[in-house]
Structure 1
């Protein structure tokens, strides 16, 4: 049961981190247009982590 909730936990955590980073950009005075910058950086980090995980899993399979 707890394992099935992992996807929802990850989604909620990502939403919270994204909102925090976007809010920090606005609070620092960068404005509404700068909110996309941390979103792009977080997306890049998430995709990089996924690719590294996939490569690691592929190496273990052989």
Structure 2
């Protein structure tokens, strides 16, 4: 499972790098902020699921 933890982190970092390349304008601002939030939440949700106390808790968190 260490591989998935590393992959989710790399996914968030690559999304941040992509967002840095998008022109800074009012039109793209909301899209960039949303992409940063959702890309980092993937890893956070996965890490939370690994701390589950039961199978039902794991499914709920994942």
Q: Sort the TM-score into its range (normalised by shorter chain).
A: 0.3 to 0.5
Q: Which has the higher contact order (CA 8 A, sep 6+)?
A: 2
Q: TM-score with structure 2 length normalisation?
A: 0.43
**TM-score using structure 1 length:** 0.43
Q: Tell which structure's C-alpha radius of gyration is larger.
A: 1
